[in-house]
């Protein structure tokens, strides 16, 4: 894995809203949210990335051991079907993050089994869906994920996610969002878990065309590059040290 390598990205979506005939969702994402997220990543990263998708309905949700072994960065979108994700697959994803796979969790994925397992908190938050303006402010201007976006990013209509957001103190707080109603949200936060990098980004909802937004696409492409592993996948295990092992 070198910086020049192609990043292998897999975009996962529960893909339930879109197939239930919800006209608003279908209008925004006719082939599924994953396809729009994937298209945005391809648009921005070009031949620096190869982007595939997977959904809940695929065998093993499309997240077999083989699939994950060939994934550098996994994007995760889920909302109303978190409980349908098999615990075996959840553990497999978590294991790969620990071993170095990058993970980008989107919007309502805050309540996914995978994210809650990696955070160790309830990941609860306050919310209200009134189609309000969201402003996304950069509070870590030197961070690679914040490159190339205006301050603030302006999203005309969005669902409100507000504090208190029950997450661990972020390793890096990159974006803060405000909403017309006056609420605030830590909307872009980064963590390391084992050897893997995790980025949570709240903008994006099935009812609004946020993943078509120019600046949001920039953030997601930046996040893919940031989350890509710097070294070979490696599972951390407890090993007894022979006496003087570091002498070798």
Residues 134-193 that bind its own copies (CB under 8 A): 135, 137-142, 144, 147, 151-152, 154, 160, 162-166, 168-169, 171, 173, 176-178, 180-184, 186, 191-193
Q: Which stretch binds its own copies (CB under 8 A): 53-61, 123-131, 203-211, 213-221?
A: 123-131
Helix (H, G, I), strand (E, B) or coil at 115: helix
Minimum distance from CB of 7 to its own copies (Å)?
14
| C-beta of 106 vs 160, nearer to its own copies | 160
| C-beta of 58 vs 172, nearer to its own copies | 172
Longest CA pairwise span in the chain (Å): 66
The alpha carbon of 163 is separated from its chain's Cα centroid by a whole number of angstroms, namely 19
Please confirm whether the linkage preceding 138 is cis (ω < 30° from 0): no
Residues 59-78 that bind its own copies (CB under 8 A): none
The answer to whether 225 and 130 have CB atoms below 8 angstroms apart is no
Q: Is 229 in the site for its own copies (CB under 8 A)?
A: yes
Helix (H, G, I), strand (E, B) or coil at 76: strand
Q: Is 232 in the site for its own copies (CB under 8 A)?
A: no
Q: Which long-range contacts (CB under 8 A, 24 or more apart) does 21-24 make?
A: 22/206, 24/206, 24/207
User: Strand 153-162 and strand 126-138: pairing?
Assistant: antiparallel
Minimum distance from CB of 181 to its own copies (Å)?
7
Minimum distance from CB of 35 to its own copies (Å)?
28
For 24, the enclosing helix (H) or strand (E) is helix 23-28
Sequential DSSP letters for 172-234: EEEEEEEETTS-EEEEEEEEEETTEEEEEE---BTTB-GGG-HHHHHHHHHHHHHHS-SS---
User: Rounded distance, CA 55 to CA 73, Å?
Assistant: 15
Minimum distance from CB of 239 to its own copies (Å)?
6
Minimum distance from CB of 28 to its own copies (Å)?
22
Residues 192-221 that bind its own copies (CB under 8 A): 192-197
The answer to whether 204 and 107 have CB atoms below 8 angstroms apart is yes
Minimum distance from CB of 70 to its own copies (Å)?
20
Q: Is 83 in the site for its own copies (CB under 8 A)?
A: no
Minimum distance from CB of 151 to its own copies (Å)?
7
Q: Is 48 in the site for its own copies (CB under 8 A)?
A: no
Binding residues (CB under 8 A) for its own copies: these are 3, 98, 100, 111, 117-122, 124-128, 130, 133, 135, 137-142, 144, 147, 151-152, 154, 160, 162-166, 168-169, 171, 173, 176-178, 180-184, 186, 191-197, 229-231, 236-246
């Amino acid at each position: 894995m070198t910086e020049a390598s192609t990043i292998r990205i897999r975009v996962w979506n529960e893909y339930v809203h879109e197939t239930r005939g919800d006209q608003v969702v279908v209008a925004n994402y006719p082939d599924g949210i994953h396809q729009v997220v994937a298209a945005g990543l391809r648009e921005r990263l070009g031949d620096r990335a190869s982007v595939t998708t997977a959904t809940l309905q695929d065998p093993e949700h499309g997240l077999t051991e083989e699939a994950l072994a060939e994934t550098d960065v996994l994007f995760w979108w889920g909302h109303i079907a978190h409980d349908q994700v098999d615990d075996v697959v959840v553990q497999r994803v978590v294991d790969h993050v620990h071993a170095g796979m990058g993970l980008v969790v989107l919007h309502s994925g805050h309540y996914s089994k995978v994210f809650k397992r990696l955070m160790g908190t309830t990941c609860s938050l306050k919310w209200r869906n009134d189609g309000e303006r969201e402003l996304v402010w950069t509070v870590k201007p030197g961070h690679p994920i914040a490159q190339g976006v205006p301050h603030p990013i302006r999203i005309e209509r969005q669902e409100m996610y507000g504090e208190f957001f029950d997450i661990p103190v972020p390793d890096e707080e990159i974006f803060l969002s405000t909403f017309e109603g006056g609420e605030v949200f830590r909307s872009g936060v980064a963590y390391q878990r084992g050897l893997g990098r995790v980025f949570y980004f709240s903008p994006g909802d099935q009812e609004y065309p946020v993943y078509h937004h120019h600046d949001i696409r920039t953030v997601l492409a930046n996040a893919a590059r940031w989350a890509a592993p710097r070294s070979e996948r490696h599972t951390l295990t407890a090993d007894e040290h022979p006496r003087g092992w570091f002498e070798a």
